[in-house]
Each structure stands twice: as C-alpha cells, then as structure tokens.
A and B are shown apart, each in its own frame.
Chain A
Amino acid sequence: MLAGTIIYALINSAILAMIAMGFNLTFGISGVANFAYGAFYVLAAYGVWILIHMAGLPYAAAVVISIGLTTLAGALMYRLVLIRVKGQALSEVIATFGIGLVILELFRYLGFVGFEYTLPVLSDKSLIIAGTYVDMQRILIVVLTAALVSGLWLFTHHTSLGLAFRGIAQDERTALTFGMDPDRIATLAVSIGAALAAVAAVIIVPLGSISPEEGYDVLIKALAVCIIGGLGSTGGVILASFLIGFAERFTDSYIGSHWTMIVSLAALLAVLVLKPSGLFGKQKELEERI
C-alpha cells in the first residue's frame, strides 16, 4: 500500500504543478494575479466538449481550437481590461475575479451542469507499476507535466522571447531601455498562462467531469501552490506541488479523506504566518529583509 500511495502522490503532485504553472508564469512575468485562471481552465474544457458534441469536430481539432480560443481570451482580457488598471493590484484582482465569475456563472446559467459533461481519455489502458495498477491518463499527466516544465525552462533561458520575459520580470524600466515593450510581453504572458490552463484542463478533466465549481477549485489550488512556493518562482511551484501532493495523499491514506481539503489550506496559512513570501519567493517582507 505504501508503494501505491507514493505513486499516486507523485501523480497528485504533477496535477498540482500542471494546474499552477500557468498562474505562476502570468504573475511572475506580468505581475498580474489572474483570478480568472480557473475560469479559463473550465472555458477550455467546455470548449472542447462543445466542439466535439455540438460541432461534431474530431477530438484533436477540438483540443487545438479550444486551446487557441482560450489563449485569445487571455490576450483580450489583458488588452481590453487589465491594461487600463495596470499597476493597481487590487483593481487587477477585482477585474480578473469578476471576469472569472462571469465566465463560470454563464456556463451554469446556460445549463452546462450535469454528469454528461466529460472529456474522453487519451488512453484507457492501465499499467502495473510497483504492484499497483495505474491508468495511462494519469501517467500521461506526469509525463506532460515534466515536458512542460522542461519546455518552459528552455523557453525562458534559451529563446529571445523567453529572455525578454525574464528581463521584464526582473526590472521593467531597464527592460524598456532595451526596447522591450512591457505591454506586449504582459499580453503574451497572460495569453500563455491561459494556454497552460487550457492544456491542464484538456489532460486533467478526463479524469473527472466538467463543472463550473471546478473553476473555483482550480483557482484555490493554483493560489495555494504558488503562494506556498513563492509567487513567480517555478522551482517553488514544483516544490510546493510535491509537498502538498504528498501531504494530501498520505493524509487520505493514513488519517482520513475528509481531512485532505484542509491540508493545502493549512499549509497556506502556515506559510503566510512563517514566511509570507513563500519558500522560494522573490518578494521580501520587511522582517525578511532585515
């Protein structure tokens, strides 16, 4: 049972990392805490469902179009709304939260609530790992998460656009002197964050079903992981994902399933009290600077 618990804890960690990556990228580059992140996740999932079941498109085409549309939604959100309140943190939070609420509650109002809203798995096979049956979809999540993390690292360290992202994140004024357009970079950051939310949705939602509530759950999980790991720190997000992922699964196995929800929230509280900038956070509280 221990081996099985460890395996599913690894899978849970990968799921959390994949969910949080897009939120972390958006905040790290553009400084925008995108509270519509969960809504983009659900938007992409419903988008795939609608394109398959109502437009009759094949799965692959539906996925590509849905990710594309969600990316566009992210870009439009920045260009039409966030650019006007740039630098006003509270206004950015309220604006993105409001947009997220509209998207999620619109789906609920239109009746997209029920058991039938599911996405197909990529493979329905199971493998035996260390004596434990694991379904292929969960293995694919781990593989894809590793690929995305590696891909993001390569992007931000070995491409000119990625280096521009890091430049803007480090010092926007200096980056301006080098001819980098912060608004363009921020638009791209929010768009790529939305795209990552869409990719996460496409690969994770087949494990369950689509519902508007999922948007709020994803936002809370992304926030918890990013705050614990340190907003803007990819290494922190990965470490926090493992910490929470393992804590949840071991709590479920050895203490009780109804305590698992408390784990991430309790960890969040502890970090905010003991080290508010997070494990690898770059923002420093006054006490931490002294």
Chain B
Amino acid sequence: MNSAKQLVLYFLFALLCVFIFAPEIMAAEPIVIGVPTSTGFLEGKECLNAAQLAVEEINAKGGVAVGNQKRLFKIEAIDIRDAAPGVPVPEALLGIEKLILSKKPAALVIGPFRSEALLASMDLIAKYKIPLLGTIAMTPATEAKIKKNPQKYKYIFRPCLNAKYLVQYLAGTMGFIKKQYGFDKVYIMNQDVAWARKTAEIITKVYFEKAGWTVVGQESYPTGTTDFSSTLLKVRAKKVQVILPIFDMPQSGILVKQWNAMKIPSLMAGFISPLAGPGAWNTFDGKIAGAMNSIFEVGSAISSSKVAPSTAFEQAYAKRWGKPLEAGHGPAPSYESVHILAEAIERAGSLDADAIVAELEKTDRQGVMGRIKFDEGHQVVYGMNPEESAVAAVFQWTADGGRTIVFPTALAEGKIVLPEGLAPAK
C-alpha cells in the first residue's frame, strides 16, 4: 500500500474511533450547576449545603438521564458577597459572569441575596441563556419583567417565597389571631431597610386598614439597633395587643429578649430571621418563649409531619452536615431546585437552555415545600394547603425551647399561647 492510501486509512480509522468513543468520553463530563451566592452568610451556606445534598442524592442513583446517557451533577460555587454591607452590585455581577464563563454551568441555583443584584443580573442571565432558579432574593419585580418580556427573561425562575406571598402570610397570621382572640390593635416594628419598610407599608394598606385593625404606631429601626425599650414602653402604655416585627438583622433577637425581660403583655408575631432555627433558643438564652416567627418555606429550619418530604429533608440534612437547619428562608427551595432541574433536563432530553426552560415551566411535583408549580411569572405558587401549593409556616416558641407550628391551619400542630397579662378580647 502506498503511503497516501495508508494516511487515508489511518484518518478514517481515527474518525471512526471518535464517533464510537466520543459519546462515552463526553458522558464522563458532569453537568455543572453554578451557585453564585453569598456563601459566607448563613442562608447562603445552608442553601449551598442543601443543593449539594440534592446533588449527592441524584448522583447516588446514577445521575441525570440526558437523552440515553446518564450524567452526574457537579456544583461549582462562587461567593459573590452581595449580602455583605457596602459590596456594590457590579461586583456581584462580575462574580456571576466569572462563574458562567469559567465553569460553563448548565444552570444556576440559589443566586444573589439582594433583590437589586438579582434584578441587575437578569440581563446577564438573558445574555448567556442560562436557567436560574433563585431561592433567596424575593422581589416580585422579576416576575413583572418576565411577564413583560418573556422571550428575553424566561430563564429566571423562583422556587422560594416572594415578598407578595410574605405579606400574604403575615396578613393571614394577623387575620388568624384576630379570629381566635378578637385582637385589633397592632404596633409594627421593622428594620429600616427597603424590603422591610415596603412590607410594613403594604401590609398596612392591603390588610390592616381594610380588616378593622388599628395600627397604633410603626417604627423603622436602623440596622444595628440594640435598644428597643422606647417602643416597648409605648406598646405597654397604649395597651397594644400584637407587635408585628419585620427584621432580618442579627441584633433583632434583642427585641424579643427585651420584650421578654420587660414583660410586655403583647403577642409578638411576625418575622425575625435570627429566631428561625432550633439553635436560637440557646443563642438568646432561652428568652424567646412565646414569640411567633415565620418560616418562608416549610422544610427550611422547620418541618411539618403533614408534609412528609419536609421531615425527610430535615433529617437527611442533619445527617449529612451534622447539624440542623437554622435558616428559615432558602434551604428547602434550594434542595428542590436541583431536583426540579434534574426532572426538567430528563423531560427535555438535552441540556439546551430553551428546552430546559420549557420543561421547567411544566414542573408539577410534590416536594419539601408542598406542591411545586410555577406561575406565568416563573414564581412558585404559595398558598395555605400543601396538597395544592407550596406553603410557608408560622410557629411559636414554647416555654421548653420547642417550636409548634400554629399557622396555616393545614399544618397547625397546636394553639397560640398568649403572653402573661394578655387576655383574649372576645
């Protein structure tokens, strides 16, 4: 055989090898899930852990079927530090873009903490056409953008609670309290940041003013405030029945400690982020009995026996990471995001972003948070019945350091206990 013919034969043989073996070589490549979030903060850390747990569960079963191949998931995380004070949004966006360009993820989960960072990242996500399942930032403005320009922003989904649903749950809790005890005087105490001020404003307008409540006062506290005595004295003097706190700063646990120490005869019911997990009892010296707190998604920091997957997730997390969940917002939807993504990829049969998005929109599964379905704004629908929608939970700390879910009624495990000195109004 002359050398030219030999060369052609060798070339054809090499080409044959590529076609035969390439699928197997490519199948060894894991599917990268990018996690751009503030991993130095509690919610970021626990969300990442929850996503990792889901990845390990899926990989233990052989991975995700993409067409006729099974591929494993792999998480690549980057700390974008957007939750740290003073970090500019562009710096967070740089981190997201770095992750996308260097690790080439098929999708992103968790996402930024701050709503302004998420909103700013929407154009970046649209540019690179990568599905994002956000589980921390809560602004409904993302849904408005998606509905206005679905073709561009269709890649963004939110499995966690948004601010509108938060107001709905807080209003629902207040309505439940009014129905049970006849209370109608409330004092709103919120953190002096945009999301908390807006929540206070909206709940006053859409609920309190229409439902016959008297909002005796409303105070905004700068982040870092450590003395709430003035307002608590006012609450006592004006015989306010319910205090609605709206805080996520670490110092907000002091409010409940002071409420306890000053023996204010008012029910404390709202959202105080540091009081979510079981560790709060020791952190605040056991001085938080009687306080009611909201968990944004069942499964995050608290599970319900009426939502079996939430209990299974809680136990699996504690077993894997050696400690219980403390963050009341983010971990459950982060865990679910990976499973939702896996199912969507399998239905799509490919890693094409548009195909994945089309399947994400069809998601309908019973998960840790209840029934998970997206609306037209790509927001998971939250309601009061886990059989029909995802659910949040409101619990009350008991005198022995336990937590009893008291709302919604579909999950309730016990009744609300009123503080000493406060009697029902009916």
Contact = CB atoms under 8 A, between A and B. Distances in A.
Contacts, number: 104
Contacts of A249: 227, 229-230
B40 A211 contact: no
A8 B227 contact: yes
Interface of A: 1, 4-5, 8, 11-12, 108, 111, 113-118, 120-121, 124, 126, 132-135, 207-209, 211, 213-214, 217, 249, 252-253, 256-258, 260-261
B262 A209 contact: no
20 contacts: A5-B233, A12-B227, A108-B84, A115-B274, A124-B285, A126-B262, A126-B263, A132-B233, A135-B257, A208-B251, A208-B253, A209-B274, A209-B283, A213-B85, A213-B224, A214-B224, A257-B192, A257-B219, A257-B220, A257-B225
Nearest to A109: B40
A5 B230 contact: yes
A115 B224 contact: no
Given A113-B40, A116-B283, A258 B250 contact: no
Nearest to A124: B285
B253 A115 contact: yes
B234 A135 contact: no
B375 to A, nearest CB: 32
A250 to B, nearest CB: 8
Interface residues of B, number: 39
10 tightest Cβ-Cβ pairs between the two chains A and B = A115-B274, A135-B261, A252-B230, A253-B230, A8-B229, A4-B233, A133-B262, A208-B226, A257-B219, A209-B250
Between A116, A211, A214, A249, the greatest number of chain B beta carbons within 10 A of the residue's beta carbon is seen for A116
Nearest to A111: B40
Contacts of A214: 224
A115 B273 contact: yes
Given A126-B261, A208-B226, A256-B219, A118 B284 contact: yes
B231 interface: yes
Contacts of A1: 233-234, 237
A135 to B, nearest CB: 4
Contact of B220 (A4, A120, A258): A258
B250 A211 contact: yes
B126 interface: no
A121 B282 CA distance: 12
Interface in B206-231: 219-227, 229-231
Given A1-B234, A213-B85, A217-B224, A120 B262 contact: no
Contact of B233 (A111, A113, A253, A256): A253
B165 to A, nearest CB: 24
Contacts of B229: 4, 8, 249
A213 B226 CA distance: 13
Interface in B270-304: 273-274, 279-280, 283-285, 287
B253 A209 contact: yes
B230 to A, nearest CB: 4
B254 interface: yes
A255 B251 CA distance: 22
Contacts of B223: 213
Interface in B109-143: none
Contacts of B374: none
Contacts of A116: 279, 283, 326
